[in-house]
Amino acid sequence: MAKTPFSRILYGGDYNPNQWPREVWDQDMRLFHKAGINSATINVFSWAKIQPSEESYDFSELDDIVDMLSRENYDIVLATSTGAMPAWMVKRYPEVTRVDFDGRRHKFGQRHNHCPNSLVYQKFARNLVLELAKRYASNPHIVCWHVSNEYNAGCYCETCEKAFRVWLRKKYGTLDAVNQAWNTEFWGHTFYDWDEIVAPNNLSDGMGSEWNRKTAFAGISLDYDRFISDSLLENYKLERDAIRSVDPDAVITTNLMGTYKGLDYFKWAQEMDIVSWDNYPAYNTPWSLTAMRHDLMRGLKNQPFMLMEQTPSQQNWQAYNSLKRPGQMRAQSYQTIAHGADTIQFFQLRRSRGGCEKFHGAVISHSGSEETRVFKECAQLGAELRSLGGELLGAANPAEVGILFDWDNYWALEYTSGPSIDLRYEEQLHQYYRYFYEQHIPVDMVPVDGDFSKYKAIVAPVLYMVKEGMAEALETYVKNGGTLITGFMSGIVDQSDNVHLGGYPGPLRKLCGVWAEEIDALAPEQSNILKFADGTEFRCGLLCDILHLEGAEALACYGEDFYAGTPAVTKNSFGKGTVYYVGSQPDQGGLGKILDQLAETAGVLPLMKEKTPLEIACRTVDGREYWFILNLTGTPQPAPKCFAGETDLLTGTAVGGELEPFDALLVRRAHGA
Ligand code: GLA
Ligand code: ZN
């Protein structure tokens, strides 16, 4: 069931008046009002300000900020500030900083740099948050608590190493079980004492860099990733519980980062009241990929989410920080709402004077003027959202297709040494997602232990890791009439990255009705051909499974190389259902042909029959449907005929004629109309 803790669409974002003299605050209040801003996220990086020393707190300035915003009836998102530690803390307790993938203990600096298992850090964070909660929780303007900020980055210090051993004991019980899980006979890694186990960074079994980690022992690294995700989650829970101990009804979140690899967000979301995330597409990020990330964030709790951050215009930290074109921010915001957001918040409201984010876009630029293009676009959106009121809040995004997403699989797939360095989890899923996006078929992103029975089709490309119970769950789903699609690099390993013996795709072999005897890897300049039974041909590449049919029928065969004529794409009947297996990476046309068949078999229907390159999405609430019609194509497009004459809620005009690039329309209908 969809639900929302808000009474209006929060419109605002990160606000740092602490960086500015008081006269600027007055200007802010006037300008925010003009921009239709009704919410502010405060205190994100103010720990050094509100706790000037180990012995003292000083909330005087924060009191003033909270008072000012309360007086003006803002919905306040109160952050806990623990994303950046004060310098005095690091000086006095150097062990609070993290040790990175290269084994270097960090000094004071930057942010997001604490050791999650440092008891000193934990004590300071908890005490601070208790103080904040006692002081502010009773303020009715505080609608949401924002714990820390964008949790990320692991730690490989000795404290974490010790905590890892404790975590392992709890998971495995005995050292024998650990040795077995990690297959430590390989390269003579057998452990005889728990203390021999070390953190897998570049000084030990890890390889690569912090942001592109590789490993000699995926079993060890996978467990370490799980351990770090859990450790940071404990940090979050520590703060959450501190707030709860004062205010049992508080709404608590932390801002996530889409397909960020480091944390198992499905596990995290269970501990969060509402999911929030920060959306920073690059100038060349496909809109379908952004849509997929939104759907993932909605899928974490299967509920509407908060857009905690986006930039009104440019970023500063990407390679090329292009401006958002006129109308682009508005269109991006409606795309976000279309996929399940109940808030639109910016980083940030006023552009900072110094520090590395001074070129980061903001509602108010360095000119301080309301006469900027960006300000005016923000004000237009603010007025539109205000006129929508709360009628859309909590609306659901019904979907008949589920794409499986799993962080364990993400880690393991990208740790593999071979068969190709070009295997990227997000990219693989996106190829499938894009088809549904273009066909106007709504998609849910679903965890591997989710409820498959809700869906007519389950899409599971590169389901490399098949953990205990997963094959059985998929078999039950298909047996009962479900349609499944999977393919190369699926069913290969168990939860510890040890191969399921007996032939690929391991536990999925019976279900798929194929045996993949070998996997060929193709370099970017190489390709093969998919020959379909009807004579059509498409290119394929990346990997080519050499398949034997074991009950399945071939839909397409390879056209070239020594495996020419052997099956490449297959279809198998299993119980009342059907399983498609795609043995290579088809080009877009080839994948489209396969997924057309899948959609037909599964009886999956697009939101509308009319062909259009516009993005179409639909949310439903209380017997009403909200149809989003977005032109993200870059060129004018005719308005879909099926909406002709209906009213666009955003402008009050009738739908018709053409949509200019970045035009966004919103049509309300009675459910089932
Ligand atoms: C992240 C952080 C913000 C800010 C923005 C800049 O999302 O949460 O504090 O640094 O990036 O894009
Ligand atoms: Zn540590």
Q: Let me know: does 28 contact 349? Beta carbons within 8 Å.
A: yes
Measure the CA–CA gap between 572 and 549, rounded to whole angstroms.
9
531 and 474 assigned to the same domain: yes
Model confidence at 515, pLDDT cuts 50, 70, 90, reads very high
Neighbours of 635 (CB within 10 A): 10
At 673 the pLDDT is: 72
Model confidence at 504, pLDDT cuts 50, 70, 90, reads very high
448 and 520 assigned to the same domain: yes
At 1 the pLDDT is: 40
449 and 574 assigned to the same domain: yes
Q: Is the CB of 280 under 6 A from ligand 1?
A: yes
- pLDDT for 278-319, tens place per residue? 999 999 999 999 999 999 999 999 999 999 999 999 999 999
494 and 573 assigned to the same domain: yes
Q: Whole-prediction pTM value?
A: 0.98
- Both structure tokens of 69: 């915003």
Q: Is residue 166 in a domain? A: yes
Model confidence at 4, pLDDT cuts 50, 70, 90, reads confident
496 and 629 assigned to the same domain: no
Q: Which ligand is nearest to the CA of 94?
A: 2
Query: Which of 619, 666, 644, 639 is CA-nearest to residue 381?
Result: 666
486 and 415 assigned to the same domain: yes
Helix (H, G, I), strand (E, B) or coil at 621: strand
Q: Pick the last residue of a domain from 219, 238, 268.
A: 219
What does the longest C-alpha to C-alpha distance in the chain come to? Answer: 78
Total residue length of the chain: 673
421 and 486 assigned to the same domain: yes
Q: Which atom of ligand 1 is nearest to the CA of 316?
A: 12
Q: Is residue 241 in a domain? A: no
Q: Is the CB of 520 under 6 A from ligand 1?
A: no
Q: Is the CB of 351 under 6 A from ligand 1?
A: no
Query: In this structure, what CATH number is given to the domain that contains residue 522?
Result: 3.40.50.880
**Residue 660 domain boundaries:** 615-670
Q: Let me know: does 311 contact 349? Beta carbons within 8 Å.
A: no
Domain count of the fold of the chain: 3
Q: Is the CB of 100 under 6 A from ligand 1?
A: no
- pLDDT for 387-438, tens place per residue? 999 999 999 999 999 999 999 999 999 999 999 999 999 999 999 999 999 9
Residues 6+ apart with CB under 8 A from 471: 491, 506, 507, 508, 511
- Both structure tokens of 578: 């059907």
- Both structure tokens of 381: 């959106």
Measure the CA–CA gap between 236 and 238, rounded to whole angstroms.
5
Model confidence at 508, pLDDT cuts 50, 70, 90, reads very high
Q: Measuring CA to CA, how many Å separate 650 from each of 205, 427, 459, 645?
A: 56, 34, 35, 14
508 and 656 assigned to the same domain: no
645 CB-contact burial (10 Å; exposed 0-12 / middle 13-18 / buried 19+): exposed
Measure the CA–CA gap between 560 and 581, rounded to whole angstroms.
19
Q: Pick the last residue of a domain from 219, 235, 254.
A: 219
Query: In this structure, what CATH number is given to the domain that contains residue 631?
Result: 2.60.40.1180
Q: Let me know: does 344 contact 381? Beta carbons within 8 Å.
A: yes
Does pLDDT of 544 surpass 50?
A: yes
Q: Is residue 141 in a domain? A: no
Model confidence at 671, pLDDT cuts 50, 70, 90, reads confident
The Å distance, Cα 97 to ligand 2 centre, comes to: 7
472 and 588 assigned to the same domain: yes
Backbone φ and ψ for 392, nearest 5 degrees, come out as: -95, -15
- Buried (b) or exposed (e) across 436-453, using 16+ Cβ within 10 A? bbbbbbbbbbbbbebebe
444 and 466 assigned to the same domain: yes
Q: Let me know: does 143 contact 74? Beta carbons within 8 Å.
A: no
427 and 561 assigned to the same domain: yes
Which of 46, 256, 309 has most ligand 1 atoms within 8 Å of its beta carbon, as the pocket-test mutant?
309
579 and 629 assigned to the same domain: no
Q: Is residue 324 in a domain? A: no
Query: Which of 499, 444, 504, 493 is CA-nearest to residue 470?
Result: 493
Does pLDDT of 2 surpass 60?
A: no
Helix (H, G, I), strand (E, B) or coil at 630: strand
Q: Pick the last residue of a domain from 183, 203, 219.
A: 219
Q: Which ligand is nearest to the CA of 311?
A: 1
Tracing tokens 């351990």 back to the chain, one arrives at 227
Q: Measuring CA to CA, how many Å separate 662 from each of 280, 328, 363, 402?
A: 17, 6, 19, 28
Q: Give the catalytic positions in this structure.
A: 150, 309
Measure the CA–CA gap between 272 and 255, rounded to whole angstroms.
10
Q: Let me know: does 503 contact 515? Beta carbons within 8 Å.
A: yes
* DSSP one-letter string for 173-194: SSHHHHHHHTTTTGGG---SSG
Amino acid symbol at 438: E
Q: Is residue 296 in a domain? A: no
User: Nearest residue CA, atom 3 of ligand 1?
Assistant: 347
Q: Is the CB of 239 under 6 A from ligand 1?
A: no
The Å distance, Cα 347 to ligand 1 centre, comes to: 7
At 91 the pLDDT is: 98
Q: What does the pLDDT average to over 97-121?
A: 97
Q: Is residue 652 in a domain? A: yes
Q: Is residue 111 in a domain? A: no
Measure the CA–CA gap between 414 and 325, rounded to whole angstroms.
35
Q: Is the CB of 223 under 6 A from ligand 1?
A: no
User: Nearest residue CA, atom 4 of ligand 1?
Assistant: 347
Per-residue DSSP letter, 148? S
Backbone φ and ψ for 299, nearest 5 degrees, come out as: -70, -20
Measure the CA–CA gap between 378 and 622, rounded to whole angstroms.
29
